[in-house]
Amino acid sequence: MRFTDWLLELGQLVVMEPRKGAGRFALQRAIDHGFHDLKVHRIYLEIVESNEASRRLCESVGFRAEGVFRDGYHSAVSGYQNLVPYGLLASDLESNV
């Protein structure tokens, strides 16, 4: 995680046993820490477009897709892939209460 006084970037979340709730717990904890403890205004992350499970998880806790970075990620295994940036504002949570 990297943050300034107003922005928190979630860099990487790795879960040993997918689809057991650990990712949701870790993501919710990061959101709570960012907005309640650090008092940031915005949290953002980027997900490879083809990672549907991660994208659904982020959307289910309130993150909003904010476009597409074409060929924004590259790996030796999968080559170039699109990245989808997601953002969540403190006010997004307040409006869902």
31-43: pLDDT as tens digits: 999 999 999 999 9
Query: Beta-strand (E) ranges in 17-93?
Result: 42-48, 64-65, 69-75, 79-89
pLDDT at 47 over 70: yes
pTM for the model stands at 0.83
Residues forming beta bridges with residue 44, ordered by sequence position: 9, 87
| Residue 55: CATH number of its domain | 3.40.630.30
Range of the domain at 35: 2-95
Q: Give the model's pLDDT for residue 11.
A: 74
> How many domains, the chain?
1
Residue 14: band (very low, low, confident or very high) from pLDDT cuts 50, 70, 90: low
